[in-house]
Chains A and B, each alone.
Chain A
Amino acid sequence: GAVVSQHPSRVICKSGTSVKIECRSLDFQATTMFWYRQFPKQSLMLMATSNEGSKATYEQGVEKDKFLINHASLTLSTLTVTSAHPEDSSFYICSANPRVADQETQYFGPGTRLLVL
């Protein structure tokens, strides 16, 4: 149980285009989903917290107009990188908190590697 999927797993795009990454909780409902960014050989950096049906809360220094987050249902959150540039190339990972029971544990998706040319 507690499986989180991400799609796509890998994407290459041209500079200036937008890329959408989906995060789904497959066997549980998630009131809260989190989006992280990870640079090579570094820890995860929290970008934003996404609550179903409300606006995402962004961490300091994260541009909300650049990284659009939508949490339309209890099993789906999307991250759209708008007008991507090479410096946006990174590994993006989402996680989800189950709606019931243990709400402290976050379950992570497998990540999406974005390369902007």
Chain B
Amino acid sequence: GDSVTQMEGPVTLSEEAFLTINCTYTATGYPSLFWYVQYPGEGLQLLLKATKADDKGSNKGFEATYRKETTSFHLEKGSVQVSDSAVYFCALSGSARQLTFGSGTQLTVLP
């Protein structure tokens, strides 16, 4: 079945540092890929998505590129802020339109 493997956390960075959170997937067919962010005590917010190979999703300075050859969708941001502290989930949407989530990565950004 479908699966998503996400970089283990927690990740702690200083403000303005570069962020990479790795995500790889296993799926049949051509899934769509997503990054969701969850702030403390809240639900998930869609951060960005990509629906086909080589697509780059971007939002709020975050980027991720759909790499079919490496089955990856790594999340990057050039300069993180304290307000980016949250849990980040990588997910894929398969043929049944159900989301398969990674385990989540806790990011803490220190001032």
Shortest Cβ gap from B88 to chain A (Å):
11
A side interface size, CB within 8 A: 23
Q: Which of A32, A43, A49 has the most CB of B within 10 A?
A: A43
Q: Which of A32, A44, A103, A109 has the most CB of B within 10 A?
A: A44
- Closest A residue to B90 by CB, please name it: A43
Given known contacts A43-B89, A43-B104, A34 and B42 CB-to-CB distance under 8 angstroms = no
Binds A, one of B11-19, B59-67, B73-81, B95-103: B95-103
Asked if A93 and B43 make an inter-chain contact with CB atoms under 8 angstroms apart, the answer reads yes
A6 to B41 alpha-carbon distance, docked (Å): 13
Shortest Cβ gap from B57 to chain A (Å):
11
Interface of B is mostly: strand
- Closest A residue to B106 by CB, please name it: A41
Point out the residues of chain B lying under 8 angstroms from A89, CB to CB.
none
- Closest B residue to A92 by CB, please name it: B43
Asked if A34 and B43 make an inter-chain contact with CB atoms under 8 angstroms apart, the answer reads no
Query: Which residues of chain A have a CB within 8 Å of any CB of chain B?
Result: 4, 6, 32, 34, 41-44, 46, 49, 93, 95, 97, 103-111, 113
Query: Which residues of chain B have a CB within 8 Å of any CB of chain A?
Result: 32, 34, 36, 41-46, 49, 51, 89, 93, 97-99, 101-104, 106
